[in-house]
Amino acid sequence: MMWRHVASNALSFFVVLLFLAGGAVLWGVNEYSAEGPLEQPICLQVPAGTNMRRVSADLAEQGAVSSGTVFRIGVEYADKTRRLRQGSYLIPAEASMAEIADIVTRGGASTCGTQVVYTIGVADLLARVRELDPATSRFREVVRFSPLSDEPPPEYLAVRERADTQYAVLVVEGTTVWQVARSLNALDILQGEVIELPPEGSLAPDSYDVVPGAQVEALLARMSSAQARILAEEWAGRADGLPLETPEEALILASIIEKETSVPDERRQVSSVFVNRLNRRMRLQTDPTVIYGVTNGEGVLGRGLRRSELDTPTPWNTYVIDGLPPTPIANPGRAAINAALNPDTTEYVFFVADGTGGHAFATNLDDHNRNVARWRQIEAEQAAAQAAAQAETAEN
């Protein structure tokens, strides 16, 4: 009888343990997937060589999880412990443990911390150091400078020493391959240099994540591959009846459109003008091509075209040559390539600046001449206003 009593008590105790364990597991599962205690977003740093135990302790210390142990067990149960990735990660307010685990193990680009963005523009190369404010999810600029002409400021040198700093190279639409190559050669985070220029127009304007020590030629290859893919995709979806026989001709026209307008809504209209001119065997007569013939794509002209330059034959002077020039005159973005291959249906064959940043379009020479006269008047008024402002500044 005694042994039965002992066995009965042991069985009861075991049942109670199972019940408590089951309750604990259920609580842990709910806790792992429930809304977290974090009141404000944080930027979680996951350094190289760390482990999930240290990350869970850091999360608990910063108030992002209610229990570092539950977080660690949950990650282990989800088989994510070995997927931890180095980086800086934005942890949103009230993020659950499950959401945090996904953020720090899915890989990809870091989502917060310090960034250095090198912007390759038409006129200059600009380096900006910026930091993300987790509370607002907005970047705050720390410092900016031109690596082509300025000494690196202390703020830049400081973040260059940090292992978690992220880097990106942003290529702006309308740059030339010479401008891109010159800028890449000036970046102190890259290895090697551009010796032979890629074909004009072959580099896709975009943002490219880079790491210190990356090879310049490898980055150029990424840009070229991206542009080839974009051109192939857009060529496959082109409109019927275009006076363009090859994707290369589309790239040439796209580069002209890119340089002629920065207004997104105008690209297809500008494209229609050039397509109409090509169909009617009219010369394109576009200033950006003449400028490219003068500069060879090396730098900005910085002044208006002279009459002699408009009259001087070059392979790119579309006031002199028939049809398209032999090469693109810049690196066009996807939107310009799409516009070249999908122009608006119009009768326009002329356009000129209208003083608002856009253009006035015309179907005949008389209307175009009136638009030109209006633009000349605007230019004169702008010049007079600028002269008056300079005179007032000089007096003060």
Q: How many CB atoms sit inside 10 A of residue 376's CB?
A: 11
DSSP string computed for 298-309: SS---SPPPHHH
Least Cα distance to 291 among 144, 174, 121 occurs for 174
The rounded distance, in Å, linking the Cα atoms of 295 and 300 is 7
* pLDDT value, residue 148: 94
The rounded distance, in Å, linking the Cα atoms of 342 and 214 is 37
Please tell me what DSSP assigns to residue 264.
Answer: G
Exposed/middle/buried for 320, CB within 10 Å: 0-12, 13-18, 19+?
middle
Distant-in-sequence, close-in-space partners of 15: CB < 8 Å, separation ≥ 6: none
Least Cα distance to 262 among 351, 359, 188 occurs for 359
DSSP string computed for 35-86: PP--SS-EEEEE-TT--HHHHHHHHHHTTS-S-HHHHHHHHHHTT-GGG---
pLDDT by position in tens, the chain (length 396): 444 444 445 445 444 444 444 555 666 577 788 888 888 787 787 877 788 888 888 888 888 888 888 888 888 878 888 888 777 788 888 889 988 888 888 866 666 778 899 999 999 999 999 987 777 767 789 999 999 999 999 999 999 888 778 899 999 999 999 999 999 999 999 999 998 999 999 999 999 999 999 999 999 999 999 999 999 999 999 999 999 999 999 999 999 999 999 899 999 999 999 999 999 999 999 999 999 999 999 988 888 889 999 999 999 999 999 999 999 999 999 999 999 999 999 999 998 888 888 898 999 999 999 989 898 888 888 878 877 777 777 776
The rounded distance, in Å, linking the Cα atoms of 96 and 64 is 8
- Look at domain 28-105 and name its CATH class: alpha beta
The rounded distance, in Å, linking the Cα atoms of 86 and 338 is 38
H or E stretch covering 261: none
Angle, CA of 378, 383 and 385, to the nearest 5°: 95
C-alpha to C-alpha distances, 204 to 33, 118, 169, 389, nearest whole angstrom: 42, 16, 12, 40
Least Cα distance to 256 among 363, 336, 141 occurs for 336
What are the start and end residues of each CATH 3.30.1490.480 domain in the chain?
28-105
Exposed/middle/buried for 231, CB within 10 Å: 0-12, 13-18, 19+?
buried
- Rg of the chain in Å (alpha carbons): 31
The rounded distance, in Å, linking the Cα atoms of 300 and 182 is 13
Distant-in-sequence, close-in-space partners of 170: CB < 8 Å, separation ≥ 6: 117, 118, 119, 120, 206, 207, 208
HSE-up of 85 (CA within 13 Å, CB side)? 15
Distant-in-sequence, close-in-space partners of 355: CB < 8 Å, separation ≥ 6: 374, 375, 378, 382
Structure pTM? 0.77
Angle, CA of 99, 25 and 23, to the nearest 5°: 130
